[in-house]
Amino acid sequence: MNDIKKPGVSRRGLLKAGAITGLVASTPSFFIKDAWAADFRNNPKNTGELKLGFNVPQSGPYADEGADELRAYKLAVQHLNGEGDGGMLNTFKPSMLTGKGVLGKKVTFATGDTQTKSDAARASAKRMIEKDGVLMVTGGSSSGVAVAVQSLCQEQGIIFMAGLTHSNDTTGKDKRRYGFRHFFNAYMSGAALAPVLNKEYGSDRRAYHLTADYTWGWTQEESIKNSTEALGWETVQTVKTPVGAGDFSQYITPVLNSGADVLILNHYGKDMINSLTQAVQFGLRDKQVNGKNFEIVVPLFSRLMAQGAGDAIKGILGTTNWNWSLQDDGSQAFVKSFGAEYGAPPSMAAQTCYAQTLLYANACEMAGTFYPPEVIKQLEGFNFDGMGNGPTFYRAEDHQCFKDVLVVRGNENPSSQFDLLKVVDVTPRAQVEYDWNIFGGSLGPYIVE
Amino acid sequence: MTDMKKPVLNDMLLLFIFSAVILLMPFWLEPFGAAYPDLLQKFAIYGIFAIGFNILLGLTGYLSFGHAAFLGVGSYAAVWSFKLLTMNVLPAVLFGVLFAGALAAIIGFLSLRRSGIYFSILTLAFAQMSYNLAYSVLTPITNGETGLQLDRSDPRILDRMFSEGEPAAGLPSTDLFGVTMSGYPGFYFCAVILIVCFFISIRIFRSPFGLMLKGIKSNQNRMQYTGLNTRPYMQTAFIISGMFAGLAGSLLAVTDPLAGAERMQWTASGEVVLMTILGGVGTLIGPILGAALIKYFENIFSSFNDTVLEQAFSFLPESVLDVVVPLMGLFVGSGWQLTLGLLFMVVVIFLPGGLVEGFNRIFKFIRSGKKRKGLVEPTQDQASE
Amino acid sequence: MDAIFIQILNGLDKGAAYALIALGLTLVFGTLGIVNFAHGALFMLGAFCAVTFQKLVTISDRVRDEGVTAFVAYKETPYLEIWFGDTGATIIDYSVPLSILFAIPIMLLIGFVMERGLIKHFYKRSHAEQILVTFGLAIVIQELIKAYFGANPIPQPAPEILAGSANVGSWFGLGNNLVYPWWRLIYLTFSGVTIFSVFAFLKFTTYGMVVRAGMRDRETVGLLGIDIERRFTIVFAIAAMVAGVAGVMYTPILPPDYHMGMDFLVLSFVVVVVGGMGSLGGAVCAGFLLGIVQSFASMNEVKEIFPGIDQIILYLVAVIVLLVLPRGLMGRTGVMDD
């Protein structure tokens, strides 16, 4: 960790030399432990500490989500170090976590602000890697940031455990060997939502899409469009809206006379809060079209957003990765310790970040080393349970987690200020799985440089 | 704040000291927690950006609010050079500068028809159009929100021509004839370019061209009455300034081959304006100081979380600690922007003329303090009425 | 036909919002010569006056939700409803319009303090320094709001009775398909009234006459023995108030968050400059022009021909106007030309 700060001594050169000798020594012995024990970036060696980098938005539109992620990370660190009540450590299985740190090392952390901008997020991640010497980077609240940081981590040979990122690209076109995503994606949202839409609104519907004009919006529009069209729905129009438009009236008014009877809002964050609030204001939900009630669907939303949208979210269908009201042991254990520590339930971003940290720590224990390629191999194809959403599988081919997906509805009659989402349906894992080939991309090598 | 005072130091000596300070940054910044490659690179790169901006604002008084467009175009051009031609950084830098220069020629040609706030809004409008398009419809060229990245399957014509066999399994890294341009080598590359840019900036400030620009700044009409057409001078200054920004943009791509659209947003344009004013408009060294300070806040202050604070103040008794840490937490970590905002206000209220003015005062105070005490400051300060 | 009509309505609505937000900025620009980058922050503060007011009237009796054991969750019932029944509920329902009364004195005070404490020291400083100090102030205000209210938008519903849409089409005999939200129509009217009042104030009162004279030639007015400084303070306070009430009224359309000021800052500058420096009428015209053009550029038929045109149309129009008309729509010579 220290020698990297001094100019002249190039860790990369050293690494390169090490990697080449490793390769020359030929492959069969390569997969045996200790063959790599030589060196790798930010090797904690004998320091007795393992440092993780929590890279979350602390300013900008997702600052509240970032703050919640950070709370979850701190909780995970406590639990890993054996403080507190242990949370999901007690329910997560198969687990080698002991509550005595990871591989005998105490877990510590560095934090940074992504500002939800690719540049700032990369600068922050680089600071953690170059200065603080973190062994793993995690967090974030948008797909652009996740993809940017993920590719940086690949170059640097540091594992990246993505936070909230929903674009198909993160584990599709832009997937990386060093990047892992526990969160679900747009494809899974579409697959989970379709049967419920069919049941609630029937198979003869005409949908109008408003889509945030950037990569995440496009992948979601495509996924939802495909899965609703498979139901027999017709897509009347898809319209791209500028990010941060604020006032969406000029995009909402054409919906009124388009003959569509469902409006699908492929927006997230502030855009979604604004467009939904305004669409409801325009009286869309009181309308009757083609003899049916007009409906609005928001394929991805979270409790924090429901809070921002207020009454407008009531009765709206969408999907979410996780909700605190789930009754399984893992979720309950997590909500309990989070609630005891912070006095409020965790958001879905917090849950994914907490789970990611535990998964990484456990993979290190399983590998018996912090050497990233070995840790990666432990995560690839890992089957586990007890972290919420039932039995979960980390697919080796694209590093995407597969688990049950929640279809939720904005609660019409909340019993408390946190009770904003009602789980309508838990779509089983088998229904949202897909062939990893469909999105292209390649993971890249285990060993970098 | 307008006129350059008699240089305190001989230019050559200044350049020498400047070079020494810049090149030794990895050592003397260590106690400040800023001695790691990425931040050092950012210091150098944004220093170049601010120097270039100062050539426009400091010499001509024209306040451009769209300089980030050139930064972004420089980055995109550089990454495309890595993708299409070669991982060598020289062509990338060259293309970055050229494309930014070309764009500056067009935007400058149109915007310089107006002056004052009208000029500012024109440049802002052009930059915002570039940003919005890059974020959405130009995605095939810019890769939109995600940012333009390298890919294993990129053609890289020149590299393929000269190297035989299979490409490496991972992504190639940028290099200068075999020296990898990340980490410290990347910093020294940027630092050398910064020093060259600083030298060019000194020469421009001292040249007849620079004097002409200052003349235009103090009274454009009078200059025109002498039969001089001022436009070509302004146009040249604008293009030079844009090329500096393009250079900075391409260096961002050199040290980290990714180009994102946010680099062109108005906040990025605003940032360089703030850097320059914070450091001192029209001074040689000021913009670099301002750039370094803002980047320092963004990267270091944002990283102080409660745990770090508790450690830093662990000498305090528990009860005091419980008050101090949350209070300090308001200003660092997620509150780093609050401190930055306060800094802007404090500097501009108490130090008209920016940080450099502050240093000048200290310098003068020390010197005059030896001779005569109680001497009235020569610079007037309207703020303290 | 319907589509065109409704886009005109959209454009007017947008334009009214733009004009109202820009009005205070152009007042400060034109009269005081101050480039106020904290104007967006004033708009945001106004919106948070509404939030604060709503929080005040909904101070609640909290009953614990026993179903939740992991943490403490409450079902909240506002005291106003408990004490006053339906009257209380009505007050809460009308919290946004009522909070205007709350916002006016607060915003006047904020404007007064800001001008006396900070802005007046910057009349003679360069525009660059004005930008730096007001931008710094904007960041400070915004971060303080974030530290207290969080970063998430806070919903501010319009009164129940105004929640739906008006059947505008039937008013003009255009059929039943033309509906427009009541609140937006109210916003349109409100901004019309506000803009007119500011005009009337400047045009028909002696006070306004002095201010207008001060805009033209400050020194001479000063020589006449008129305390122009004090009038300028009041102009600044009025500008802050106009920005504030614009913010209050906008909250049902856009749930406010700490960053909304910055989001509107660039836009309001564009409106003011396209209108021409120092011209109130220009700013209003520019607001409506940009609003209508933006609405039409967002129509699917237009976007099919020019993809992405709605992303840049505001700036494109700004560029064209400024290149054709050197001082915007109605700018006066000599104001902020250099």
Each residue's pLDDT tens digit, C208-217: 888 778 777 7
Phi, psi of A157 (to 5 degrees): 70, 35
Give me the number of domains chain B comprises: 1
Same domain? A121 vs A176: yes
pLDDT band at C335 (very low <50, low <70, confident <90, very high): low
| Domain span including residue A107 | 40-184+325-403
Same domain? A192 vs A289: yes
The residue-averaged pLDDT of C319-335 equals: 83
Question: What is residue B179's three-state secondary structure?
Answer: strand
Same domain? A104 vs A156: yes
Q: What is the model's pLDDT at position A38? A: 53
- Over the stretch C166-222, which tens digit does the pLDDT of each residue have? 888 778 777 777 888 999 999 999 999 999 999 898 888 888 888 778 777 777 877
Does residue B85 lie within any of the structural domains? yes
pLDDT at A249 > cutoff 70:
yes
Does residue A10 lie within any of the structural domains? no
Interface of C with B in 17-56 (CB under 8 A): 35
pLDDT at B136 > cutoff 90:
no
Reported in sequence order, the residue ranges of A136-193 that DSSP labels E, i.e. its strands, are 136-139, 159-162, 179-181
Q: What is the model's pLDDT at position C86? A: 84
pLDDT band at A449 (very low <50, low <70, confident <90, very high): low
Q: B57 near B276, Cβ under 8 Å?
A: yes
Burial of A46 (0-12, 13-18, 19+ CB in 10 A): exposed
Does residue A297 lie within any of the structural domains? yes
Q: What is the model's pLDDT at position A382? A: 95
Same domain? A92 vs A217: no
pLDDT at C64 > cutoff 60:
yes
pLDDT at A3 > cutoff 70:
no
C144 at the B interface (CB within 8 A)?
yes
pLDDT band at A122 (very low <50, low <70, confident <90, very high): very high
Q: How far is CA C291 from CA A249, B33, B220, C264, C308, in A?
A: 11, 49, 36, 14, 17
Q: What is the model's pLDDT at position A243? A: 84
Please enumerate in sequence order all residues whose Cβ is within 8 A of that of C223, keeping only pairs 6 or more positions apart, or say none: none
Rounded Cα distance between C192 and C210, Å, is: 24
N residues, chain B: 385
Strand partners for A393: A383, A402
Does residue B201 lie within any of the structural domains? yes
Q: What is the model's pLDDT at position B313? A: 81
Q: What is the ipTM of this complex?
A: 0.90
A341 at the B interface (CB within 8 A)?
no
Rounded Cα distance between C145 and B313, Å, is: 27
Among the ranges given (A256-265, B270-279, B310-319), the one the predictor scored with the smallest mean pLDDT? B310-319
Same domain? A177 vs A191: no
C163 at the A interface (CB within 8 A)?
yes
In this prediction, what percent of chain B has a pLDDT beyond 90? 47
Q: Tokens 């059929």 correspond to what residue?
A: C175
Does residue B335 lie within any of the structural domains? no
Q: Chain C residues with CB inside 8 Å of B385's CB?
A: 121
- Over the stretch B151-172, which tens digit does the pLDDT of each residue have? 878 888 888 777 766 666 667 8
Chains in touch with B (3+ beta-carbon pairs under 8 Å) read: A, C
Does residue B234 lie within any of the structural domains? yes
Q: B176 near B168, Cβ under 8 Å?
A: no
Please enumerate in sequence order all residues whose Cβ is within 8 A of that of B308, keeping only pairs 6 or more positions apart, or say none: none
- CATH code, domain carrying B207: 1.10.3470
Same domain? A128 vs A173: yes
The residue-averaged pLDDT of A327-347 equals: 92
Q: Chain B residues with CB inside 8 Å of A127's CB?
A: 36, 38-39, 299-300, 303
pLDDT top residue among B194 and B381: B194
Same domain? A143 vs A154: yes
pLDDT at C70 > cutoff 70:
yes
How many other β-carbons are positioned within 10 Å of the β-carbon of residue B3?
Answer: 9
Mutation target among A247, A288, A326 for the C interface, most CBs of C within 10 A? A247
- Over the stretch C93-128, which tens digit does the pLDDT of each residue have? 899 999 999 999 999 999 999 999 999 889 888 888
Does residue B160 lie within any of the structural domains? yes
The whole-chain average pLDDT of chain C stands at 87
CA C146 to chain centre: 19
**Angle, to 10 degrees, between the axis of helix C280-297 and the axis of helix C182-204?**
160
Rounded Cα distance between C232 and A267, Å, is: 44
Q: What is the model's pLDDT at position A260? A: 92
Interface of C with B in 118-137 (CB under 8 A): 118, 121-122, 124-129, 131-133, 135-137
Does residue B122 lie within any of the structural domains? yes
Same domain? A225 vs A294: yes
Does residue A286 lie within any of the structural domains? yes
Reported in sequence order, the residue ranges of A57-162 that DSSP labels E, i.e. its strands, are 106-113, 136-139, 159-162
Does residue A259 lie within any of the structural domains? yes
Rounded Cα distance between A193 and C168, Å, is: 36
Question: What is residue C232's three-state secondary structure?
Answer: helix
Q: A158 near A137, Cβ under 8 Å?
A: yes
In this prediction, what percent of chain A has a pLDDT beyond 90? 68
pLDDT top residue among A386 and A17: A386
Phi, psi of A239 (to 5 degrees): -125, 130
DSSP per residue over B324-372, as a string? HHHHHHTTSGGGHHHHHHHHHHHHHHH-TTHHHHHHHHHHHHHHHHHH-
Tokens linked to C247:
């913010």
pLDDT at A110 > cutoff 80:
yes
Domain boundary (A320, A353, A388) is at A320
pLDDT at B342 > cutoff 70:
yes
Domain boundary (A290, A320, A350) is at A320
- CATH code, domain carrying A103: 3.40.50.2300
pLDDT at B8 > cutoff 80:
no
The residue-averaged pLDDT of A158-163 equals: 95
- Over the stretch B117-127, which tens digit does the pLDDT of each residue have? 889 999 999 99
Reported in sequence order, the residue ranges of A252-324 that DSSP labels E, i.e. its strands, are 262-266, 288-289, 292-293, 295-300, 317-320
Q: What is the model's pLDDT at position B95? A: 96
Does residue A266 lie within any of the structural domains? yes
Q: What is the model's pLDDT at position B71? A: 95
Same domain? A64 vs A168: yes
Q: Tokens 């049916």 correspond to what residue?
A: A292
- Over the stretch C268-317, which tens digit does the pLDDT of each residue have? 999 999 998 878 889 999 999 999 999 999 888 888 888 888 889 999 99
Q: A166 near A216, Cβ under 8 Å?
A: yes
Does residue B228 lie within any of the structural domains? yes
pLDDT top residue among B283 and B352: B283
Does residue A34 lie within any of the structural domains? no
Rounded Cα distance between A333 and A351, Å, is: 11
b/e map A123-159, b = 16+ CB within 10 Å: bbbbbbbbbbbbbbbbbbbbbbbbbbbbbbbbbbbbb
Rounded Cα distance between A144 and C226, Å, is: 58
Q: Chain A residues with CB inside 8 Å of C264's CB?
A: 246
pLDDT at B183 > cutoff 60:
yes
Rounded Cα distance between B338 and B335, Å, is: 5
Q: What is the model's pLDDT at position A19? A: 44
Q: Tokens 């051009």 correspond to what residue?
A: B77
Rounded Cα distance between A175 and B152, Å, is: 13
Does residue A121 lie within any of the structural domains? yes
Q: What is the model's pLDDT at position A376? A: 95
pLDDT band at A224 (very low <50, low <70, confident <90, very high): very high
Rounded Cα distance between A255 and C7, Å, is: 12
Q: C294 near A250, Cβ under 8 Å?
A: yes
Does residue B20 lie within any of the structural domains? yes
Domain boundary (A271, A291, A320) is at A320
Q: Chain B residues with CB inside 8 Å of C269's CB?
A: 121, 124
Strands A288-289 and A383-384, how do they pair?
A: unpaired
Q: What is the model's pLDDT at position A33? A: 40
Rounded Cα distance between C243 and A138, Å, is: 41
pLDDT at A206 > cutoff 90:
yes
Question: What is residue C165's three-state secondary structure?
Answer: strand
Interface of A with C in 263-282 (CB under 8 A): 270, 273-274, 277-278, 281-282
Minimum distance, in Å, between the CA of residue A115 and any CA atom of chain B: 10
How many other β-carbons are positioned within 10 Å of the β-carbon of residue B79?
Answer: 29
Torsion (CA) A422, A425, A429, A433 in degrees, nearest 10: -100
Whether cis (ω within 30° of 0) applies to the bond prior to A445 is no
Same domain? A294 vs A334: no
Tokens linked to B380:
């007037």
- Over the stretch B355-370, which tens digit does the pLDDT of each residue have? 888 888 888 888 876 6
Rounded Cα distance between A112 and A52, Å, is: 11
In this prediction, what percent of chain B has a pLDDT beyond 70? 91
Q: What is the model's pLDDT at position A238? A: 93
Same domain? A290 vs A310: yes
| Domain span including residue B232 | 11-299
Complete edge-to-edge strand list for the sheet that includes strand A106-113: A106-113, A49-56, A136-139, A159-162, A179-181
Give me the number of domains chain A comprises: 2
User: Which chain A residue is nearest to residue B72, measuring alpha carbons?
Assistant: A119
Please enumerate in sequence order all residues whose Cβ is within 8 A of that of B351, keeping only pairs 6 or more positions apart, or say none: B357, B358, B361
Q: B287 near B53, Cβ under 8 Å?
A: yes
The residue-averaged pLDDT of B64-70 equals: 94
pLDDT at C25 > cutoff 60:
yes
pLDDT top residue among A3 and C66: C66
Minimum distance, in Å, between the CA of residue C304 and any CA atom of chain A: 10
Same domain? A76 vs A148: yes
pLDDT band at B7 (very low <50, low <70, confident <90, very high): low
N residues, chain C: 338
The residue-averaged pLDDT of A303-329 equals: 92
The residue-averaged pLDDT of C19-41 equals: 88
Does residue A5 lie within any of the structural domains? no
State whether B133 and C328 contact (CB < 8 Å).
no
pTM of the complete model: 0.89
Rounded Cα distance between A242 and B334, Å, is: 27
Q: Chain B residues with CB inside 8 Å of A6's CB?
A: 26
Helix ranges (H only) for chain C are 2-27, 39-57, 79-84, 86-93, 95-117, 127-149, 168-171, 182-204, 206-216, 218-223, 228-250, 260-275, 280-297, 300-305, 309-324
State whether B125 and C140 contact (CB < 8 Å).
no
How many other β-carbons are positioned within 10 Å of the β-carbon of residue B359?
Answer: 16
What is the dihedral sign for C-alpha B121, B126, B132, B134?
A: negative
What is the dihedral sign for C-alpha A326, A332, A336, A338?
A: negative
